Amino acid sequence: MRNMTELKLWTFQRDDRPAEMVQVPHDWAITGPFDPDNDMQIIQIVEDGQTSRWEHVGRTGGLPHVGFGRYSCMIPGPESPERCVYLDFDGVMSRSKVYINGELAGGRHFGYSSFRIDAGKFLHSGDNQLEVTVENPPCASRWYPGAGIYRPVRRVEMDPVHFGHWSLVVRYLPDTGSLLLTGRVENRTGQTQSGTVTLSSPLFEQDSWDCRIPSSGYDFVRTLKLKEHRKWDVEDPVLYPVDFRIVSGAYSDEETVRYGIRSCVFDPDRGFLLNGRRVKLNGVCMHHDLGPIGAAFNRAAAKRQLEILRQMGCNAIRTSHNPPAPGLLDLCDEMGFLVMDEAFDAWRIHKTDNDYATFFDSESEMDLSDLIRRDRNHPSVILWSIGNEVRELHTKGAGGADIARRLREIVKKYDRERPVTAGMNACEDAIENGVAAELDIPAWNYRPQKYHLFHKLFPHCPVIGAETLSTVSTRGIYYFPAREYRFGFRPDRPEKSELQCSSYCLDVMGWAMTPEAELLAQDMDESVAGQFIWTGFDYLGEPTPYYSEWPSRSSYFGCVDLVGLPKDLFYMMKSQWVKESPMVHIVPHHWNWKAGQKLDIHVFSNCDEVELFINGKSCTRKYRTGGSSDLAERYRFIWHDLAWQPGEIRAVGYRKGEVCTEEILKTAGAPAEIRLNTGRCTCAADGEDMLFVEVSAVDRENNPVPDAKTYIRFDVAGESLKIAAADGGNPTSTELFHLPECSLFSGKAVVYLRSTGAVGKTVLTASGEGLAPAQIELFAEKTVQA
């Protein structure tokens, strides 16, 4: 039988600092401090159009991830000499080495790869010392990578006859209504064994057969007719267990694959078809960090991100630009998200001095093979991406087409169903040098005006925008007049001293366009399968457009800020992606201005008409102008040069002439009280689940105060929850995440609380100078599913 134990408690020592006990997954750098010297790089970002090398700060978040770390713990030896023991690592950042009782047992350079260590020959009976060393060199990443054992580690003990690692595959055959099940049985006894393999699931009649298992192992292939079942879909992500069991005398092993039955077709004229139905890919790109808690994977935090994105109408994730945590794909399976699973950010040509190009020639086949074998049973995965904006795309004589062909062949060795793609910025060069032709579906970055041309050149497949928008914004910040603003390499906006970007969704980078350009291209032709916005959430590092200005430690690209509070871009995309529930959203999203201020009011809405009122007086009713020559007015309702006056502004949405929704913003007074709100008050008492509490400042009439910057302190009374982080989402803040205090930003913040493992009630109190404090009761229970 198989026994699996997650290794959570480790002794950790960084460089020459004192050792401490930590819980894995662990990110040693997220506690800071922030400092531009932590990650200053002298580089040329070719992807951003830079023509020379110059100083960049905050490139990876200004956090101290560079350095050496050592983890150690004690693990038991095998229950008997013939038992097999493996160590499974979901990801270690980076250049890891694994030692057992002082002997090097293995490791992995690529910090995003999952890998297995065969520990048996290094173990003895009783306790054994396990040690993992980690080294993050400078200039190894373009964004915040995290540091240390940031994904789970498991000790797996099995009988000598057991299923091979990642060998079990379930494949749906829609033409025959059958399942194809394949797998491998390993035999470590040294002698041929007799055994019985049994396959069972609600999907088919149980299948069982006897077999001989030589010492070289036994491979099997079975085709089984499907019973009545429901299809896995973005709206109904039903999963079925498929159980594999091997019994050989006293030996046995069992493994379950959760599988969703679905058919995926990329139709050249109709885009993406899921179970025969056209589904638009309303996707976002996501880096792997979880904001203030860093890169250490946490299921509750990742699920919260997906839940927020779902509210925007998002149904697809691009794992930019690296293999994701296995736990993220589990969530996508369960919640009905489609996934572009991405392997590499670099091939042979470096983007930074110590990035993956260092190991590409020697290790890319291993890393890519492991990614495909690990993730091929996930119904959420619909595309394999072999690279992102690799420099071979626009470098003549670099052999990019040969590399793309080799990587594609590696993918097809393990999965012939899903298409192979890559995110391409140098689109024209990639067409000319043959890279695009080596892909099943070329995916284009920032070229909506050329989608029709690309489809003519590649008529066998639909068009996909692998990376779109690059609209930069800061939640709650607005600059006037509201106009398109295109950042060059260095920002020259008069307000640049604030190191912020306007939230009108009109500030874009030089390589990109306003959201409307992409929306129009997506709407014009059914052959466009969808897009992946850069990005869903703000992330640590890449504080574009402020390449050399400090403090600036996180990105501005997100539809949602670093702590999970939606920006105005979130509502713009929601107005296009969510059609059923009527909505209106006013920009700027508060009504606190100075006397005499002239405002451009934009309303994002999925309604036919919107009427605007200031203090009860109509500012005219506007109709959606789908044929307007003004691109912005196709997707926004706009009123120019309205004079601000205190009171309220109200937007009313109409469908078929009838009022169906409204939004009211009121002028707020001075901040008087704190308000605490949470989507759920109860978590699992498992030591890992988390709760997230939104903190707001309100005036005496309970109106949100949009410019409140009060420093808030948090306290917990109770043993079931502890504060893991608190932050306001300000991309220029250098306040430490892990302290029980933070400044409000644009009137809000979020505090993250983590289960301690104890059952019971915890009371969170928030207090700030001049504000009435607030409390909220939170609970941890054993029966709650995380």
* Residues that are catalytic: 389, 467
> Quick one: tokens of 132?
């993992």
End-to-end, the C-alpha distance of the chain in Å comes to 27
3-state secondary structure of 611: strand
Number of other residues whose CB lies within 10 A of the CB of residue 321: 24
Q: For 310, list phi and psi in degrees, rounded to 5.
A: -60, -40
* Orientation angle between helical segments 360-375 and 400-414, nearest 10 degrees: 30
**Contact criterion met (CB below 8 Å) for 651 and 639:** no
**Contact criterion met (CB below 8 Å) for 317 and 284:** yes
> Quick one: tokens of 246?
């091997």
Instruction: Indicate left, alpha or beta for 72 from its phi (over 0: left) and psi (-120 to 50: alpha).
Output: beta
Cα(110)–Cα(364) distance, integer angstroms: 9
Give CA separation, 453 vs 242, 253, 445, 459, 463, in Å.
44, 54, 14, 10, 10
CA atoms within 13 A on the CB side of 599: 25
Cα(380)–Cα(259) distance, integer angstroms: 10
Q: 255 pairs with which residues across the strands?
A: 244
Peptide bond into 419 cis (omega under 30): no
Q: 16: which residues sit within 8 A by CB, 6+ positions away?
A: none
Cα(442)–Cα(676) distance, integer angstroms: 46
**Contact criterion met (CB below 8 Å) for 502 and 485:** yes
Tokens 């379950």 label which residue?
256
**Contact criterion met (CB below 8 Å) for 778 and 756:** no
Report residue 509 CA to chain centroid gap: 22
Q: 558: which residues sit within 8 A by CB, 6+ positions away?
A: 535, 536, 537, 538, 539, 567, 569
Q: For residue 43, with 0-12 CB atoms within 10 Å meaning exposed, 13-18 middle and 19 or more buried, which class applies?
A: buried
> Quick one: tokens of 118?
């065969």
HEC-encoded secondary structure of 201-269: ECCEEEEEEEEEECCCCEEEEEEEECCCCCCCCCCCCCCEEEEEEEEECCEEEEEEEEECCCCEEEECC
> Quick one: tokens of 398?
């670099």
Q: What is the DSSP code string of 157-214?
A: EE-SEEEPTT--EEEEETTTTEEEEEEEEEE-SSS-EEEEEEEEETTEEEEEEEEEE-
**Contact criterion met (CB below 8 Å) for 343 and 367:** yes
Pairing of strands 169-173, 748-755: unpaired
Strands (E), 389-525: 420-424, 443-445, 463-469, 485-487, 507-509
